[in-house]
Amino acid sequence: MLYIYTLCVNKYNMLDRNTRLTIIKNFITEKKIASQEQLLLLLKERNVHVTQATLSRDLKSLKVGKVSDGNRGYYYTLPDQKMNKETTEHFLEDITRGYISLAFAGNLAVMHTLPGHANTVAFALDRLDLDEITGTIAGDDTILIILSDGVERKDIVNCLEQMIPDLELPK
């Protein structure tokens, strides 16, 4: 049912990202939503408060597209769930294949990769659209990772450990 969900609260007293994404997916599946403004209003009605920028990132991470409604209009649609899972698995494999180590300095992390793998690994990190990472800059075998405001070393380590348990991450 669309309106039944559990509120998960994080340390910033906001709706957990995964719960928010689930709510967005439910709206898109059950309604023909034509714009971000319409989706923002629906979310607000359910006491889910997000900025337009956050919603835009959420739609991007869900790989939401638009299809024609047949009457000169368009509405949001979700990709095939199997395809979405396979894409995420490929990104995680790219990280695993190239990863060597991770170190931290303030709100920056430096990931060392095998030679020639930094661009692929940085692309995968960017496409996974992790809340903990603002962005990456890749060289040949080194990636500068800019952590999001308020994110600590343990947060990014926990996030990566959950996604890729086999990585040897700093404790």
Domain with CATH 1.10.10.10 in the chain: 17-78
Helix, strand, coil % (nearest 5) of the chain? 45, 20, 35
How confident is the prediction along the chain (171 residues), in pLDDT tens digits per residue? 333 433 444 433 356 788 888 899 999 988 889 999 999 999 999 888 889 988 988 898 888 888 877 777 888 888 775 556 657 888 899 999 999 999 999 889 999 999 999 999 999 998 888 889 999 999 999 999 999 999 999 999 999 999 898 889 987
Q: Is the pTM of this model over 0.75?
A: no
Architecture of the domain defined by 17-78: Orthogonal Bundle (1.10)
Domain with CATH 3.30.1360.40 in the chain: 82-163
Architecture of the domain defined by 82-163: 2-Layer Sandwich (3.30)
Phi first, then psi: give them for residue 138, nearest 5 degrees.
Answer: -110, 140
- 110 in Cβ contact with 121 (< 8 Å): no
